[in-house]
Amino acid sequence: MRISNWATQFNAKIICSEDRPDNPTGDMIYRIKDVFTTCDGSWDPSNATGAIEQWATSSYLLPPNDPTYFDDAGGAHHIFARVLDLEGKPITNQDEFICWSDGVHLLGQANFAQYIKMTITPKARSGWGNQPIWSSFSPARGETGPWAWCPRGAADVIVGGGLPDNLHISWFVVWQAEKRAPGEIDDEPGDETGENLPPNLAALRQAAWGR
């Protein structure tokens, strides 16, 4: 997993699929692979607050002649989402992404429907979907952006989308599909302490849940 320094400084949190209050099931799990931000829609790495890092530009800003060209990459106050299949190719017919701004706990409510479908559903060419946002928050005060989003199904959830100090920051999150092992259960030994998690994910999980 790659998480940009700015996404971390903006207090983004990741909720593992296994930790979701609705305990989603299924043969496929969508794991967060990359998280990064842009400032004012720019994909040029710089020292600006929220600026993109080189690895993200190299990985996702492709030339117009590329078959998966990302034509709306310059959105300046959006949350973006993309899902990769088992082979790492973008899924352009992903059912849809959902996003909401009232807390991950709502997933635990029966018949939860307090979400919206992303305004731009996954595009046939790039696989990116997005939703414009306007909510401001202050990272310096320990605040986290209100928006959470994820693909439908068993998926990790990203929490913290918003405009830090009302800056034009866009958030980009990439999930990758992986098959659930036969007979796999959600709470494997060591998961409660983050023992089996990559360091970055363990840190963000600690921030989200205090464990």
Give φ, ψ of 83 to 5 degrees: -120, 135
C-alpha dist (Å) from residue 108 to 12, 21, 61, 160: 21, 5, 36, 19
From first CA to last CA, the distance across the chain in angstroms is 19
What is the pTM (predicted TM-score) of this model? 0.85
In this prediction, residue 93 has a pLDDT band, given cuts at 50, 70 and 90, of confident
pLDDT value of position 189 = 38
- In this structure, which amino acid lies at residue 156? D
Per-residue model confidence as pLDDT tens digits over 171-197: 999 999 999 877 655 444 334 344 444
Beta carbons within 8 Å of 80's beta carbon, 6+ residues apart? 128, 129, 130, 170, 171, 172, 173
pLDDT value of position 207 = 45
In this prediction, residue 210 has a pLDDT band, given cuts at 50, 70 and 90, of very low
Counting DSSP H helices and E strands in the chain, the numbers are 3, 12
Per-residue model confidence as pLDDT tens digits over 109-127: 988 888 988 888 888 889 9
Q: Is 50 exceeded by the pLDDT of residue 211?
A: no
pLDDT value of position 192 = 39
Cβ atoms of 156 and 30 within 8 Å: the answer is: yes
Q: Is 70 exceeded by the pLDDT of residue 134?
A: yes
Give the residue with greater pLDDT, 90 vs 182: 90
Mean pLDDT is highest, among 89-93, 101-105, 132-136, 185-189, for: 132-136
**Which whole number is the average pLDDT over 11-29?**
95
**Which whole number is the average pLDDT over 63-92?**
93
pLDDT value of position 8 = 98
pLDDT value of position 110 = 86
In this prediction, residue 16 has a pLDDT band, given cuts at 50, 70 and 90, of very high
pLDDT value of position 209 = 37
Quote the CA–CA distance of 57 and 54 in Å, as a whole number: 5
